[in-house]
Structure 1
Amino acid sequence: MARFDLTDFEWSVIQPLLPTKVRGVPRADDRKVLNGIFWRLRTGAPWADIPARYGPHTTCVNRFNRWRRAGYWGRILKAISVAYDGDVQIIDSSSIRVHQHAANDQKKTSDPVAWVARAAA
């Protein structure tokens, strides 16, 4: 178990919320794939850099996107928050590097109402 992998308690909360229908090829281990997704989200690394211990990176990215579209992530986060009595806090520390010449450039703004009026005319 890696440092930030799901604990047994967290897994016991999440596992009942996951889809159980299996079609075609047997599913990769959900816990392993979830740990890979969480590793990627925590590090910000490209999907292709997910360590091999979490399985193929394509499985992680495909399952992340499929579960996002199906609404599983909201249910998972809500269940974990309830399990920890609301003591789970998440801080997003995203930062984006801006090109040095774009940082202080004049913003090109236009009046969206005027633009719509011109397009309609």
Structure 2
Amino acid sequence: MMPLPVSSPAAPTHQLTDREWRGIERLLPLPSPRGRPFADRQSVMTGVVWQFLTSCPWRAVPRQYAPWQTCYHYRRELDRLGVWPEIVRALELVPGSLLTGTAGKPASADMGDGYRVELLRGTEEVE
């Protein structure tokens, strides 16, 4: 099945809650004081988590989070630094988070038309 286009009203969206953000913010690398100012890290991480949950191509990351290229490069940096598995574990500890769902079970993303993507535990290669 083809991924939903970014503009599709059925495309799942979510913003990291303040509780989820507090659980992972300390794990993230600080932006470099040099170069262009970094985008809003919470929005970028929401895009990274959205892509992880949906397994959609990076180009399908909703623009409301950050440009897909920013999310992709940030995820690559998290993988390179070895902190991505820690971020996934930290989000799993937040009750009701994207990764635990409301019943404490692994979450899944509803892609519409009865198509669901189950959360994969662990890391994956970025596309």
TM-score bracket for the superposition, by shorter chain length: 0.5 to 0.7
Write out aligned runs for 1:65-80 (5 A): 65-80=76-91
**2:27 equivalent to 1:17:** yes
Query: Which residue is equivalent to 1:99?
Result: none
Offset at residue 21 of structure 1 (A): 4.0
Partners in 2 of 1:50 and 1:3 — Cα distance?
9
Residue pairs, 1:23-62, within 5 angstroms? 23-62=34-73
CA displacement 1:22-56 (0-9 Å, x = unmatched): 13111111110111112222222211121111111
d(CA) in 2 for partners of 1:83 and 1:36?
18
Indicate if the aligned counterparts of 2:13 and 2:50 stay in contact, CA closer than 8 A. Answer: no
**Aligned residue for 2:14?**
4
How well do the aligned residues superpose, as a CA RMSD in angstroms?
Answer: 2.4
Structure 1 residues 65 and 51: alpha-carbon distance in aligned structure 2, compared to 1, 3 A threshold = same
**Cα–Cα, structure 1 residues 27 and 83, in superposed 2: closer, same or farther, change >3 Å?**
same
| 1:65 Cα deviation from its structure 2 partner | 0.8
Runs (5+) with no aligned partner, structure 2: 1-11, 107-118, 122-127
TM-score normalised to structure 2 length: 0.59
Specify every segment of 5 or more residues in structure 1 that has no aligned partner in the other structure, as ranges.
Answer: 94-121
1 or 2 for the larger relative contact order (CA 8 Å, sep ≥6)? Answer: 2
Report percent identity of matched pairs. 33
**Count of paired positions:** 90
More helix by share: 1
Instruction: State the TM-score, normalized to the length of structure 1.
Output: 0.62
